[in-house]
Structures are given as structure tokens and as C-alpha cells.
Amino acid sequence: MKNKFRLLMLAVFALIGVSLGISNRPVKVAAQNSSHDPTWWSKYEFLRDNGSDPAFGTTSSVSVGSNVDVSNECGPQSETFITINPNKPKTLAAGSNEIFRLPMRGYYSTNGGGSWGGVDLPLPSAKSKSGFDFGSDPSLAFDTQGNVFYSYIVVYFSGVNSATGQGINGTEMAVARSTDGGKTYPSATFFSFENGTNHFNDKPMITADTNSASPFRDNLYIAWDAAAGGSIGGGVRVAASSDHGASFSVTRADDPSGPGRAIGASPSVGPNGELYVAWNDYAANAIVFNSSPDGGQSWGTPVTISLKTAPFDVGIPAESFRRALVYPSLDVDRSNGPHRGRVYCSWMDLTPANATDIFLSYSDNNGLTWSTPAHVPDQFTFKVDRFNHWMSVDPTNGDVNVAFYDTRNDTTGFRYQTDYYLAQSTDGGLTFPADTRVSTVSSNEHDCNGVFPCQGINYGNQQGDYEGLVSFNGVSFPIWTDSRRQLAPSSGCRRPYLMEEVFTASVK
């Protein structure tokens, strides 16, 4: 979702963390903390004082030119993800955070993204009578049998004064399974509960092994950071399931004796079942990688893909209430093309011009060594910020696709206005021709001009911490949020405006 909640628990964790709305990141130590970023406590207080918006059944999307408003519902959404059924490529499933509501939101399409319906994800019971829980941080994956799995975290709250630092009962992982392409999620598996006294679960990403040659075919893998604030036992965790999400075993992919100062773990699977994961080690200020040859049972020695300039996040003009998070996106060429097996990693970092850009590196030896990082998007003589990217390697042809927010079309002169763009490489990541503008209308989430509905942007959402992308058979489906329809009325809502919406497009 667009908002991330920060934990506001410095007294309990040396990391603060996670932004509201929904992708909660373990916000770093005090020196890196951004006091303006929204918090989980902020969402708790808002829902406690105002209540949650009404429950939704199936909602219908709306076409807006060549873009589609996927969510088309009350209030703001943030942080998006999307996946495709490789056996039925007209079937897509997606998800987002909700800001004014408790559950995660799921979306589904049976016509190649032309139209969408919506559904809520299940939540468990609260941990206390005075509290409640809500979901955050969506990611999705199809297996080869047509099941779609939706992973998220559950954040438990109780009615305790935030000054004590004891408002969070804990966090746990959730994986819901749908057998009808994301139209319904009857139940979910909940696991790895953490009560917050040592660390908390944050920003999970899921992938499925869909390789016919893999001994682990249809295994599910979820990677996340269990922020520990300097204590042992947190770190980069990876959960594996060989029974279609009914149960999970959990290992640690980074140094098991290390302090666990990581954010943004991203997993992917190679053509023979090799399991890979990359993350941002913000203490070492590096993008780091590890691999497992046995379906996540054991891990090798972490390898540094690249050092970087920005350790944890970057304050950029386009985000007035939060900061752009530094995280990797990892994927593998599973096609039968010339680069089959090549592992790709992309991430955001600062440039010498003090703007943000997307960088990419690749490995042809299972992650042992990596190419020199290169800029992904177009380059300009003026400052342009790119952030909240995602990468998808097309498994049918090996094309490398990267989507991101971009401020090149800003007319304010301050890099406030954003569009969503797509970059594509057809030569194994060596070159990226001109980017494609995906969004048909620019958004300005910095200036609200005093209009009431713009206040929704200050609930921690804005652009969120990440957005999604999936590519298949020469077509890419980026998914993102913007505020172009913020003034559109939404019937049946207690706050009767759409505010920020989830958008997608089909890009050939």
C-alpha cells in the first residue's frame, strides 16, 4: 500500500519502523529515522477514532484512457503487487494495502487486465479485547496448478498509550490461497508470530517454483526482514512450503550470528530450482545476495552485489510525507534464450547529482560474481528522480523489464510530479532503449493546494514503499498508485472520495 507504518518502538527495538498503510519497513536506527514518516500507530489511532470503512464485496474497475483504475473504491490504497497465471495468461491477480480499512485488498482479472474485480483477504482474531489487527505489504504468485498465493503481514494492536511504546501486540506472516484466480481467498495460513520484544516481521515477498526441471516444483518461498535492532535472531528470513501453503519451514539467509540489519528481501527461483534472495544490508550499505541449492533448507555465504550511496531511504521532493525506500528486486531468466539462468538484481540509489536512479547488475554464475552496476532508465541533463521500481524478467523470451516512478515530466520545477514508466532490455540487460510512459496523467502528491481530499495523501500512503510488475509473452503489466482521481466521489463511503487509486496498464 502506499502508506507504510513505522513502528515507533525505539524503546523496544533499536529500529523504528514501518510505514503506514502498508508496507512496513523496519525503519532504521535513529540517525536514519525520518520523523515525518507515517507509523503503524498512526493507522491504529485513525481506525480507533474513526472506524474502518465499510466491508466491500466485489468492486468493478474503471477504464481511464489506456490505464485502468483497478481499485475504484473508497479512500486511498498503497503498495501494489501483480502476478500472472502462466498457463492462462489472461488471468492476473493483484493486491494492495488499504488505508482506511483493516484487511488487505485483492484484485483479479480474466481478460488480460482489461477489467478487474476486488476481494478482501482474511484476518485472524485480535490478540486482545481492546485491540484489532490489520494487514500490510502484499505480494502474490501463481504456481503451475493455477493456485494463486497472496502473502502479507498481520499487525496486532491493543489500546495502549503510544508513549509507552507498547501498542503493538506483535506481527506475523500470512499466506492466503485462491483456487479460482484470486476471486476468493477462503482462508490463510498464519505463522512466525513475533511479539515485538525482540524483532518484528516486515515487507514479505513471495515467489513460486514453476520450473518443469526443478525437483522443488511448486514450492513456495517467502523472504522478509525480521528487524532486530542489533540483536541476534532477526535478519533475512525465508519460509518454504512444499504443501501448497498449508505449512512453512523458516530459515535465515543472511549471517545467522549477525545483527539482522536488513530491509527489502526479494526472492526468485532459477530454471533448475535454485533459490536466490537479495536484500538491502543498510548497516554495510550494500545490496547483498545469497542462494540455496536445496529448496531453502540451507544457505551459502552472502555475496555483495554492490556497495551504494544511500543506506536505507532517500528524501525526495515527490514525497512530502515519507521517503523513498532502498530495496532490491531480484529475478532470473527462465526462458530458453541465450541468457537462460542469468540472475538480475535492480535497486534505487543516489546519483552524483543528488537525484535517485535505478541501477541493475547481473550474474552468469549463480550469483558468485556480478557485473558492474549500470543505469536502467533514460538519462537527462536535468535532475530526475526514479523510485519505487520493480523488475520482471519475461520467462518466455528473457526480456528484462523494469517499472518505476519518474519525475521527468514535472512542470513545477521542483520534481514534485510523477509518472509511471517502463524500461525494457532485449539483450540481457546490456542496453535499455527509450523508456515507455505508462501512466497517461501525471500525479502531484506533494502539493495538495488546500483541497480537502488531498488530505488523504497524508495518511502515510503517497506512493508507498514499492509497486509491482509482471511480464509474460512480450506483454508487461505494471501496477502502481496515483492520485489523479482523488476528487472522484465514491458512493457508500464515510469519507466519500477515492483519494489514491490502484492503476495498471498492458504494455507490449
For cell 466485489, the residue is 58
Q: Which pTM does this prediction carry?
A: 0.91
Q: Across residues 26-42, what is the average pLDDT?
A: 39
Highest-confidence range of 188-202, 310-324, 357-371, by mean pLDDT?
A: 357-371
Rounded CA separation 41/501 (Å): 23
Residue 106 reports pLDDT greater than 80: yes
Name the nearest CA neighbour of 270 among 340, 185, 167: 340
Rounded CA separation 359/496 (Å): 40
Domains, the chain, with CATH or none: 30-504 (2.120.10.10)
AA letter at 433 = P
Summary mean pLDDT of the chain: 86
Reported as a single tens digit per residue, the pLDDT across 246-290 is: 999 999 999 877 777 899 999 999 999 999 999 999 999 999 999
pLDDT for 166: 56
Residue 464 reports pLDDT greater than 90: no
Q: Which residue has the higher pLDDT, 357 or 3?
A: 357
CA distances from 78 to 15, 104, 127 (A): 23, 10, 26
Residue 29 reports pLDDT greater than 70: no
pLDDT for 485: 86
Name the nearest CA neighbour of 75 among 490, 395, 424: 490
pLDDT for 19: 33
pLDDT for 451: 46
Pairing of strands 67-69, 501-504: antiparallel
pLDDT for 195: 80
Reported as a single tens digit per residue, the pLDDT across 211-253 is: 999 999 999 999 999 865 444 567 899 999 999 999 999 999 9
CB 271, CB 291: distance < 8 Å: no
Highest-confidence range of 134-138, 366-370, 454-458, by mean pLDDT?
A: 366-370
**62-76, 103-117, 275-289, range with the lowest pLDDT:** 62-76
Pairing of strands 148-157, 324-325: unpaired
Q: Across residues 101-117, what is the average pLDDT?
A: 96
Residue 457 reports pLDDT greater than 70: no
pLDDT for 200: 82
